[in-house]
Amino acid sequence: MDRQEKNRIFLSIYLPGIFILLLWVIHLYQFFMGNLDAFGLLPRKTSGLIGILTAPLIHADFTHIISNSIPLYICLALLFYSYRSLAYKTFIIIYLGSGILVWIFARPNIHIGASGLVYGLFGFLFLSGLIRRNINLLAITLLVTFLYGSIVWGIMPMDLKVSWESHLFGLLMGFFCALIFRNQGPPPPIDPFEDEEDEDDNLLPPNNPEEPRVIYMYRENDPNIN
C-alpha cells in the first residue's frame, strides 16, 4: 500500500470521526447544561435561519444521536474515500441545501438532528454509483442500499414527531449532487477486454478491402512445415 492510499484511508476515517465527535460534544453539553432547541430550524421565521447551520448538530436524546451517528459515519467515510475530490462540496451542498429547503417548505415546528445529512449522503452514494457505471462504486451503492435501504420509508409523513421533510429534502439534495457532479470525480473503469482487442488487431497486417486477407493455419514448431 503506497503513501497516497494510506492518506486516503486515514482521511476517510479521521474526518468523519471528527464530525461525529463534534455532535457528541454538543449533545453532552446540552445534556448537562440545558436545552439547545433555540438553535433548531424553525421554518419561515427569521429567528429560525440560524438552524440551517446548527440544527443538524443538535439531537433530542441519546437514542436520537446514536441512530444518526452510525449511518452518518459510514456514509461520510464512503464519501471521503470514494469521492475525495467531491467530498467537501457535496457535503456542504447537502448540508446547506437541505436546510434551506426545510426552512422554506417544512411544517412550522422546530427541526433538529443530522438525519437529513444521512439521507443526503445515501442519495448521493446510491445515484452516483448507478450513473457512473463503475463497478467499485456500484459495489458501494449495493452496500449502502443493503445497510440502509429501508430508510426510504422515512420520507413518508408517517410519524408526525419525525422531520420527514428533512429526510425528503436531504435525499433530493443528494440526488441533485449526484447529477451535477456526474462528470467529475472517479472516472469509469477501463475495459480490459477492449485493450486486448486493440492489441490483437495490431498483430494483424492492414486489411485491404479490395483484396482478401491470407491467413496461414499452422502449428508452431511443426517439423512438417518448411
pLDDT digits (tens, 9 = 90+) for 162-200: 999 999 999 999 999 999 999 997 766 554 445 444 554
CA distance 208 to 138: 43
Q: What phi and psi values does residue 136 have, to the nearest 5 degrees?
A: -70, -40
CB atoms within 10 A of CB 60: 15
Burial class (CB in 10 A: 0-12, 13-18, 19+), 26: middle
User: What type of residue is 31?
Assistant: F
Domains and CATH numbers, the chain: 3-180 (1.20.1540.10)
Amino acid at 141: T
Task: Give the per-residue pLDDT at 193.
Answer: 44
C-alpha cell at 20: 461525529
| Whether 123 contacts 174, CB under 8 Å | yes
Neighbours of 177 (CB within 10 A): 25
Residue 205: predicted pLDDT: 53
pTM: 0.81
Let me know: does 117 contact 165? Beta carbons within 8 Å: no
Could you say which DSSP state residue 160 is in? Answer: T
Q: Which residues pair with 41 in a beta bridge?
A: 111
| Contact indicator for 157, 109 with CB cutoff of 8 Å | no
Nearest partner of 66 among 115, 33, 30, 18, judged by Cα? 115
Output the CA torsion sign for 51, 56, 57, 60.
positive
Q: Give me the amino acid identity at 161.
A: K
Cα gap 111→107, rounded to integer Å: 9
Give the span between the Cα atoms of 47 and 35, in whole angstroms.
17
Q: What is the pLDDT of residue 216?
A: 44
Task: Please list the ranges in the chain whose pLDDT falls under 70.
Answer: 187-226
- Model pLDDT for residues 130-155, shown as the tens digit of each residue: 898 878 888 887 887 777 777 778 89
Burial of 108 (0-12, 13-18, 19+ CB in 10 A): exposed
Which ranges constitute the DSSP H helices of the chain? Answer: 3-33, 51-54, 62-82, 87-105, 115-132, 135-148, 164-180, 192-203
Q: What pLDDT does 218 receive? A: 45
Supply the pLDDT for residue 44.
97
Most distant pair of Cα atoms in the chain: their distance: 96
